[in-house]
C-alpha cells in the first residue's frame, strides 16, 4: 500500500509538470498532498507514531484541501492567467523527467545504504525535490511557481517521513505555521499588484 | 528571565503598528530600545542559560549575536523616523513595515537562541517571509518584482537548509533519537554519529542553502538587486540582522561538522569562499551605485567571516562579524542621505554638508567607508590579521601547504582590488563632482553615532576578552 501511494505521489507531481491549466495544476497539487497525508497516516499507524498520524491528518486538511482552495480563490480574485504553458517543450520535458529520476537514484545510492527503513523512498523524495524545482523553473507565471514551492515542501515532508520515520511534532507544526504565513505573504503580494493596476 | 520579556518589545511593536496616529512611529522607535533590557540581563546570567527548556538556550555566542542584532535594530528604527523625508512612502506602508519588522524580530529571536535545528529553521523561515513584505513597502514595479524574486529564491534556500537538517537528523537519530535535533547533544556525540557521510551530505546541502541566502557563488547578484529595489532600511536589516541569523546557523552546524571531519569541511568552505570572493571582487570593481557596492561588499565580508571561522579563528570571525554588523547597516542607512540628490551620483556625494550635523555626518560616513576596507584602527583590521594568521597556520599543518598559501595570496590579491575600488570611490565622493546642499536629520545621525560607539566598544579589552572566551 505504501509503495502504491508513493508511486501515486510521484505520478501526480510528474503530471503536474505537463499541465497547461492552472486549476488542473492545483488539483494535481491537492492529489500530491493527499497521497503524502495518506502515506503519513499509514506509516504512522504501522510504527505506532501518534505524532505522524496527527501531522498526516493536518497535511490532508491544510495542504490537500485548504491551500488549493485558497489559491483558487486568490486566482479568481486577482484574475490570474489560467493558461500556463511550460517554457520547456513537452518533448524535452518527457526526456528530462526520467533523466532526473535515474540521476537522483544514482545520486542517493550512497545515502540509501545508510538508511535502514524505506531506503528507496529517500531517493523518490529527493527526485520529487528536483521535479518541484523543475516546475518552478519551467513556468514564467507566478502561480505555478508558488505551486512548485509548495510541492518542494511536500518533497521535504516525504523525506522527513521516509528518512527519519518522522520529525519531532514541534518541528512539523512549525513548518505548517510557516507554510500558512507564506500563504498570507503571497496573498499580500498579489493584493498590492492588484492595487497598482 | 523568561522568553516573554524578550518577545515583549516585538509584541508591543506589532500592536502599536495598527494605530493610525502619526506620533505612533516615535513609540515604535522607543520600543526597539526596550529590547536591550532583557539582553543585558541575559549577559549577566550564567551560561548556558535555558530560556525555554532545552529548545532555546542562551550561551555566550548567541547572547553576543543577539546584542549586536538588537543594536542594529535600534539604529534602523531611528533611521526609519525620517524615511519619508528621503523617499516617497505612504503612512499605510510605514505601519505595515513595522508590523512585519515585529514578526521578523520574533523569528530572529527564535533562530538566534535556538538549540534545536528545527526551531532554528522555523525562525529563519519566519524572518525570511516577513522580509518579503518589507521589500514590497516600496510601491514600485522593481520592488514588486524583487519581492517575488526574494520569495522564490529565499524559499529555495530555506528548503535546501531544511533538506540538509533532515539528513543530519537522520544520520544521528539512531544514537540520539528525537534529541538528534539538538545542537549541544549533536556536538557532544559528533564522533559517534553512525553514518558520517550522511551527516556531511546534509551539512553540505544546508550550507549551500545558507550560502545562497548570503549571496555567495553562484547567487552573487540576487541580494544586491533586491537591496537596490527596496528602501534603504531593508538593506540595513538584511546586512545587520538577517545575515547574522544565517551565519549563526553556519557556526552551529560547522562546529559539529568540524568534529565529524575537519578536512572535508575546510576544503569545501575554502574553495567556496575563494570562488565567491573572486566573482564579488570584480562585481564590486564594476559597481556604479552605493547600494550594490555595499551589498556586494557584504557578501565579501560574510565570506571572510565564514573562512576565518573554519580556519580555527573564531575570535577573528566574531570580531569581523560584529564590526561588519555595525558598519554595513550604518553605510546602508547613510545612502538615504548620500543618494538624496540622485541614485547613481557617487562623485561629490560627500560634499555639500553644512552645519554641525552635516559635518558630523560626512566625517562618520568617511570613517565607516575607510573602516569597511579594514584600515586601522577599524576592528576589521585586527580581525583580518588574526584571521589570515589562522589560515596560514592551517595551511602549514596541511599536506598541501604551497597550494594553500598560494590560494591565500590569491585571496589577498582579490581583496586588494576591493580596497582599491573603495579608495577610488571615497576620493570621488570627497574631491570630485559638484557641491549640492543636502539635509541630515537628527534621528539618522543619532543612529550613526550609536553604530560608531558600538564599533569602538568592540575594541575595548573587556569586549575582546569576551569574544576570545567564546572560541
Query: Does residue B12 fall inside a structural domain?
Result: no
Share of chain B above pLDDT 70, in %: 99
* Residues of B in Cβ contact (< 8 Å) with A178: 122, 125-126, 129
Contact between B9 and B105 under an 8 Å Cβ cutoff? The reply is: yes
Q: Give the span between the Cα atoms of A66 and B359, in whole angstroms.
A: 58
E strand or H helix that includes residue B49: strand B49-52
Residue B84, beta-bridge partner list: none
Q: Residues A92-98: what's their mean pLDDT?
A: 90
Residue B116, beta-bridge partner list: B182
Residue B56 phi/psi, 5-degree rounding, is -115, 110
For B313-329, what is each residue's pLDDT tens digit? 999 999 999 999 999 99
CB-CB: which of A115, A152, A171 is closest to B159?
A152
Domain coordinates of chain A in residue numbers? 2-196
Residue B377 phi/psi, 5-degree rounding, is -95, 35
Q: Give the span between the Cα atoms of B308 and B313, in whole angstroms.
A: 5
> Could you give the C-alpha distances from A119 to A98, A112, A195, B178, B344, in angstroms and in order?
19, 5, 49, 20, 55
Query: Does residue B13 fall inside a structural domain?
Result: no
Which region, left, alpha or beta, applies to residue A86 given φ > 0 means left and ψ of -120 to 50 means alpha? Answer: beta
Contact between A193 and A78 under an 8 Å Cβ cutoff? The reply is: yes
User: What distance in Å separates residue B379's CA from the closest CA in chain A?
Assistant: 37
Nearest residue on chain A to B156, judged by CA atoms? A149
Q: Which residues span the domain enclosing B332?
A: 261-471
**Long-range CB pairs of B40-48, under 8 A, 24+ apart, other chains included:** B41/B1, B41/B5, B42/B1, B42/B6, B42/B66, B43/B67, B45/B1, B48/B184
Q: Is the pLDDT of residue B341 over 70?
A: no
pLDDT band at B109 (very low <50, low <70, confident <90, very high): very high
Helices (H), B46-116: 60-80, 83-86, 91-113
Query: Does residue B325 fall inside a structural domain?
Result: yes
C-alpha grid cell for residue B65?
549575536
Q: Residues B23-32: what's their mean pLDDT?
A: 80
* Alpha carbons within 13 A on the beta-carbon side of B464: 10
C-alpha grid cell for residue B353?
554638508
Sign of the Cα torsion B42, B48, B51, B56 reads positive
Query: Does residue B387 fall inside a structural domain?
Result: yes
Q: Residues B246-261: what's their mean pLDDT?
A: 94
| pLDDT value at residue A118 | 66
Q: Quick one: which of B158, B131, B134, B132 has its CA closest to B147?
A: B132
**What DSSP designation does B435 have?**
-
Strands (E), A2-145: none
| pLDDT value at residue A193 | 47
| pLDDT value at residue A196 | 43
Place of cell 560634499: B351
Q: Quick one: which of B321, B330, B131 has its CA closest to B234?
A: B131
Is the Cβ pair A114, B178 closer than 8 Å?
no
Is the Cβ pair A182, B148 closer than 8 Å?
no
Any chain A CB within 8 A of the CB of B153? no
User: What distance in Å separates residue A165's CA from the closest CA in chain B?
Assistant: 9
Nearest residue on chain A to B199, judged by CA atoms? A111
| pLDDT value at residue B37 | 86
Q: Give the span between the Cα atoms of B316 and B387, in whole angstroms.
A: 5
Cis peptide bond upstream of B48, omega within 30? yes
* Residues of A in Cβ contact (< 8 Å) with B162: 156, 175
Query: Does residue B388 fall inside a structural domain?
Result: yes
For A24-66, what is each residue's pLDDT tens digit? 999 999 999 999 999 999 988 888 888 889 989 998 999 899 9
> Could you give the C-alpha distances from B407 to B150, B312, B389, in angstroms and in order?
33, 17, 14
Q: Is the pLDDT of residue A195 over 60?
A: no
Residue B52, beta-bridge partner list: B56
Is the Cβ pair B129, A185 closer than 8 Å?
yes
Q: How large is the ipTM?
A: 0.87
| pLDDT value at residue A116 | 67
Is the Cβ pair B151, A185 closer than 8 Å?
yes
Tally of domains in chain B: 1
Q: Residues B184-195: what's their mean pLDDT?
A: 91
* Residues of B in Cβ contact (< 8 Å) with A175: 122, 162
Helices (H), B432-460: 442-458
Amino acid at each position: 500500500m505504501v509503495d502504491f501511494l508513493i508511486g501515486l505521489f510521484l505520478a501526480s507531481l510528474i503530471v503536474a509538470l505537463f499541465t497547461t491549466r492552472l486549476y488542473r495544476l492545483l488539483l494535481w497539487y491537492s492529489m500530491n498532498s493527499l497521497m503524502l497525508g495518506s502515506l503519513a497516516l499509514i506509516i504512522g499507524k504501522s510504527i505506532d507514531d501518534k505524532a505522524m498520524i496527527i501531522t498526516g491528518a493536518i497535511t490532508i486538511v491544510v495542504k490537500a484541501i485548504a491551500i488549493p482552495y485558497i489559491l483558487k480563490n486568490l486566482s479568481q480574485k486577482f484574475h490570474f492567467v489560467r493558461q500556463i504553458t511550460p517554457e520547456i517543450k513537452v518533448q524535452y520535458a518527457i526526456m528530462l523527467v526520467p533523466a532526473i529520476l535515474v540521476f537522483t537514484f544514482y545520486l542517493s545510492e550512497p545515502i540509501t545504504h545508510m538508511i535502514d527503513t524505506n531506503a528507496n523512498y529517500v531517493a523518490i523524495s529527493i527526485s520529487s525535490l528536483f521535479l518541484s524545482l523543475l516546475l518552478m523553473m519551467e513556468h514564467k507565471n507566478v502561480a505555478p511557481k508558488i505551486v512548485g514551492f509548495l510541492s518542494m515542501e511536500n518533497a521535504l515532508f516525504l523525506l522527513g517521513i521516509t528518512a527519519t520515520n518522522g520529525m519531532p511534532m514541534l518541528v512539523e507544526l512549525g513548518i505548517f505555521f510557516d507554510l500558512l504565513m507564506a500563504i498570507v505573504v503571497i496573498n499580500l503580494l498579489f493584493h498590492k499588484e492588484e492595487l497598482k493596476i | 528571565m523568561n522568553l516573554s520579556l524578550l518577545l515583549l518589545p516585538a509584541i508591543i511593536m506589532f500592536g502599536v503598528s495598527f494605530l493610525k496616529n502619526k506620533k505612533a512611529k516615535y513609540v515604535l522607535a522607543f520600543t526597539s530600545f526596550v529590547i536591550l533590557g532583557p539582553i543585558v540581563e541575559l549577559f549577566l546570567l550564567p551560561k548556558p542559560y535555558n530560556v525555554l527548556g532545552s529548545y532555546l538556550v542562551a550561551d555566550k555566542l548567541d547572547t553576543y549575536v543577539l546584542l549586536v542584532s538588537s543594536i542594529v535594530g535600534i539604529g534602523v528604527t531611528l533611521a526609519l523616523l525620517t524615511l519619508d523625508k528621503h523617499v516617497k512612502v505612504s503612512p499605510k506602508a510605514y505601519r505595515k513595515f513595522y508590523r512585519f519588522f515585529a514578526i521578523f524580530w520574533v523569528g530572529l529571536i527564535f533562530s538566534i537562541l535556538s538549540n534545536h535545528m528545527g526551531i532554528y529553521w522555523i525562525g529563519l523561515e519566519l524572518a525570511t517571509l516577513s522580509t518579503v513584505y518589507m521589500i514590497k513597502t516600496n510601491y514600485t514595479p522593481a520592488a514588486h518584482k524583487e519581492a517575488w524574486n526574494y520569495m522564490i529564491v529565499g524559499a529555495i534556500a530555506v528548503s535546501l537548509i531544511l533538506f540538509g537538517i533532515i539528513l543530519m537528523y537522520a544520520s544521528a537519530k539512531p544514537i540520539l533519537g528525537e534529541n538528534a535535533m539538538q545542537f549541544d547533544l549533536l556536538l557532544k556525540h559528533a564522533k559517534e554519529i553512525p553514518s558520517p557521510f550522511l551527516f556531511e551530505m546534509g551539512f553540505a546541502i544546508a550550507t549551500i542553502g545558507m550560502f545562497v541566502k548570503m549571496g555567495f557563488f553562484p547567487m552573487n547578484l540576487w541580494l544586491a538587486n533586491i537591496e537596490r529595489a527596496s528602501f534603504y532600511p531593508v538593506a540595513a536589516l538584511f546586512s545587520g540582522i538577517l545575515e547574522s541569523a544565517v551565519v549563526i546557523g553556519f557556526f552551529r552546524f560547522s562546529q559539529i561538522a568540524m568534529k565529524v571531519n575537519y578536512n572535508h569541511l575546510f576544503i569545501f568552505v575554502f574553495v567556496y569562499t575563494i570562488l565567491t570572493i573572486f566573482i564579488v571582487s570584480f562585481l564590486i570593481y564594476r559597481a556604479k551605485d552605493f547600494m550594490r557596492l555595499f551589498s556586494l561588499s557584504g557578501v565579501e565580508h560574510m565570506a571572510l567571516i565564514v573562512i576565518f571561522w573554519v580556519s580555527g579563528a573564531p575570535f577573528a570571525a566574531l570580531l569581523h562579524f560584529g564590526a561588519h554588523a555595525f558598519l554595513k547597516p550604518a553605510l546602508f542607512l547613510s545612502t538615504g542621505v548620500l543618494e538624496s540628490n540622485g541614485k547613481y551620483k557617487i562623485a561629490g556625494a560627500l560634499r555639500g554638508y553644512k552645519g554641525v550635523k552635516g559635518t558630523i555626518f560626512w566625517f562618520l560616513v568617511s570613517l565607516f567607508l575607510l573602516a569597511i576596507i579594514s584600515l586601522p584602527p577599524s576592528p576589521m583590521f585586527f580581525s583580518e590579521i588574526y584571521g589570515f594568521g589562522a589560515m596560514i597556520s592551517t595551511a602549514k599543518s596541511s599536506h598541501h601547504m604551497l597550494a594553500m598559501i598560494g590560494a591565500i595570496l590569491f585571496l589577498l590579491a582579490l581583496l586588494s582590488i576591493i580596497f582599491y575600488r573603495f579608495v577610488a570611490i571615497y576620493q570621488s565622493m570627497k574631491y570630485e563632482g559638484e557641491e549640492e546642499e543636502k539635509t541630515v536629520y537628527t534621528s539618522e545621525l543619532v543612529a550613526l553615532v550609536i553604530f560608531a560607539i558600538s564599533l569602538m566598544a568592540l575594541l575595548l579589552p573587556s569586549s575582546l576578552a569576551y569574544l576570545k572566551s567564546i572560541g
